[in-house]
Structure 1
Amino acid sequence: MARLAHHVFFTLKDKSDAAITSLVNDCKEYLDNHDGVVDFAVGRRDEELDREVNAKFDVSLHVIFQDRATHDVYQTAPRHLTFIERQKENWAQVQVCDSLLED
Structure 2
Amino acid sequence: MANSTRRKFIGTAAAMAVTTTVATAMPFSSSTNVMEQQYPVVHHVFFWLKNPDSKADRDLLVAGVKTLSKIETVKGLHVGIVADTEKRDVIDSSWGVSELLFFNDLAGQAVYQTHPIHLAFIEKYSHLWSKVIVYDIAQA
The TM-score normalised by the length of structure 2 is: 0.67
d(CA) in 1 for partners of 2:107, 2:127 = 29
Aligned to 1:12: 49
Deviation per CA, 1:10-52: give whole Å up to 9, x if none. 00111200000000001112x1132222221102111334321
Q: Which portions of structure 1, spanning 4 or more consecutive aligned residues, are displaced by more than 6 angstroms? A: none
Q: 5+ unaligned residues in a row in structure 2: which ranges?
A: 1-38
Aligned to 1:98: 136
2:109 matches 1:71: yes
- Higher share of residues assigned strand: 1
d(CA) in 2 for partners of 1:10, 1:84 = 12
d(CA) in 1 for partners of 2:71, 2:86 = 31
Q: Which has the larger radius of gyration?
A: 2
Return 84-93 or 68-77, whichever deviates more. 84-93
- Higher share of residues assigned helix: 2
Over 3 Å counting, the alpha-carbon distance change for 1:49 and 1:10 in structure 2 is farther
Aligned positions, number: 100
- Matched residues, percent identical? 37
2:52 matches 1:52: no
- Offset, 1:75: 0.3
d(CA) in 1 for partners of 2:77, 2:99 = 8
**Structure ranking higher on relative contact order (CA contacts 8 Å, 6+ apart):** 1
Aligned to 1:3: 40
Q: Helix, strand or coil: the match of 1:75?
A: helix
* C-alpha contact 2:41 2:137 (8 A) present in aligned 1: yes
